Structure 1
């Protein structure tokens, strides 16, 4: 069994890193297999995630590390078809919002802790500073990633939907979110369509992202290696293959490439976060 898992892990590592992939070795186990096989699932088959499975997925989310046990995460389960349709529109018409068995919106939520502090006669001066907002977003992300792993361990696929932030004020209004909350992203969960050609996507080599004691800029060869592998992946997926031109530059070249997200600071202020 361990040998079989090791072989699967090595195949996953090879897809992720290419010829310089780490060796799976003797540390192979089913948890690593779930983590390493992750891919974006954008096409789903009709299926139902049971209420028990959903509760376990959320229990996994709530089991993530949380700053000072503040538990900043709230999750809105979207099971009203009209709300789903509107969220799909706000996320740029993404069909997966409608097709997924479950759609969740992950909320950075200071509201209940602020209410509790005020009810007990405490001031909330520190919540106006950037670190407080940052802490809540980190909490949400740790929780959501736990949920993603749990869903994938149950045989489902997931996709994070950051495009909800393109129209964040409309999302806040639609979900009736109170002050001191902020929608970070959506998550689609469903049964992946096996005909979807999407596969394990290449990542930068560990020689680019891992540093020892001090930061070391990547070599040109290491970056070129990644661009070759990621462009090959997109070509095999019959997608535009120039990652730098079609994805990196498309996201950072101008403020308009943020598709409305350049105004998020204003939304934070409107929701009570001063970000001092």
Structure 2
């Protein structure tokens, strides 16, 4: 066996191990389609326990550089990020997000903002009103821009050995969050991103995902193909929750519970009217 063949064999073994952790079942791929970047993406896990330790100098700026390198629709760059390091402000935001203690525990909390306020201010300098900013398309554009930027920041953070977890619960109280952060009209907090140094004594686990044959459609969407893969995923999810000593629940049950009622939305059922008050007309 040549050195190249040996290296390819190692890559193939590493890929299969990582993919099995992600899917709880084999997913054959060619070793040539595996590298450190993909390995890092596949190994993603949400971290909720952090060491009481500051981030190295320059980390924030590095993460923002990665975030700003994400694609942006028409290069409008309709997003901003508010970096929270003050313990008292983190505590208030934690309370608004359902008392998630990891927000307070980690040294950095990034709040990603869908931001049409900047474009509106630029136009106002020339006496122009941005009619297009009040349509749902523009709202989606800004939300997607913020989301792509955040995911770039997350990937960068994990590549530096840091742990992260998204906080969607900021949308439980969007007006209070906007007031806390001083957001102008036409800007809202899409979600937060906790960043810190993971506590290696309490490592997070890779959570299983749906089999690819449930989400990958070739040429045309086929809802009928998903029954078998979903049943398999339910089994994997139950096994995972048992390992984590969590209440036993299949993935299907979780999805239904999350969307079953208005109460399950935890106040977000009024999000449209709240967004209207924050300046988004959503025409």
Q: Summarize the Cα distance change of 1:29–1:268 in structure 2 as closer, same or farther, 3 Å threshold.
A: same
Matched, 1:263 2:263: no
- Measure, in 2, the Cα distance between the counterparts of 1:171 and 1:182: 8
1:200 and 2:206 correspond? yes
- Of the candidates 176, 183, 198, which is equivalent to residue 189 of structure 2? 183
Instruction: Single out whichever of 18-27 and 149-158 deviates more from structure 2.
Output: 18-27
Quick check: 1:273 aligned with 2:280?
yes
Q: 2:50 is matched with which residue?
A: 44
Q: Please give the alpha-carbon distance, in whole angstroms, between the structure 1 residues aligned to 2:172 and 2:253.
A: 19
Deviation per CA, 1:68-94: give whole Å up to 9, x if none: 111111111111111111011111111
8 A contact 1:10–1:24 mirrored in 2: no
Superposition map of 1:47-126 within 5 A: 47-126=53-132
CA separation of 1:245 and 1:20: change in aligned 2, threshold 3 A: closer
- Counterpart of 1:128? 134
- CA deviation vs aligned residue, 1:13-57 (integer Å, no higher than 9, x gap): 011122232325222211111111100101111222123121111
Deviations 1:109-145, CA, capped at 9 Å, x for gaps: 0011111122224331111111110010000000000
The whole-number CA distance in structure 1 between the counterparts of 2:40 and 2:198 is 15
Question: 2:85 touches 2:107 (CA, 8 Å); kept in 1?
Answer: no
Q: Which residue of 2 aligns with 1:234?
A: 241
* Contact 1:2–1:29, Cα closer than 8 Å, also in 2: no
CA, structure 1 residues 21+235, in 2 after alignment: closer, same or farther (shift >3 Å)? same
Q: 1:65 to 1:18 in 2, by over 3 A?
A: same
Contact 2:112 2:146 in 1 (8 A): yes
Give the whole-Å Cα distance in 2 for the aligned partners of 1:195 and 1:154. 19
Secondary structure in 2 matching 1:165: helix
8 Å Cα contact 2:114/2:187 also seen in 1: yes
Measured after TM superposition, the shift of residue 2 of structure 1 is: 5.5
Instruction: Tell me the distance in 1 between the aligned counterparts of 2:207 and 2:107.
Output: 24
Asked if 1:224 is matched to 2:237, the reply is no
List gaps (5 residues or longer) in structure 1.
none
8 Å Cα contact 1:5/1:33 also seen in 2: no
Structure 1 match to 2:38? 32
Q: Is the contact between residue 2 and residue 28 of structure 1 (CA under 8 Å) also seen in structure 2?
A: no
What is the count of residue pairs matched by the alignment?
276
Distance 1:197 1:147 in 2: 21
**1: CA distance, partners of 2:226 / 2:278:** 43
Aligned equivalents of 1:9, 1:85: Cα separation in 2: 40
Q: Distance in 1 between matches of 2:9 and 2:159?
A: 20
Who is 2:4 aligned against? none
Does the residue aligned with 1:144 lie in a helix, a strand or coil?
A: helix
Match of 2:255 among 245, 248, 259: 248
Conservation of the 8 A alpha-carbon contact between 1:204 and 1:226: yes
Q: Could you tell me which runs of 5 or more consecutive residues in structure 2 were left unpaired when the two chains were aligned.
A: 1-6
Give me the TM-score of the superposition, normalised by structure 2: 0.93
Matches within 5 A, 1:135-154: 135-154=141-160
Q: 1:16 to 1:244 in 2, by over 3 A?
A: closer
Q: Is the 8 A contact 2:237 2:251 kept in 1?
A: no
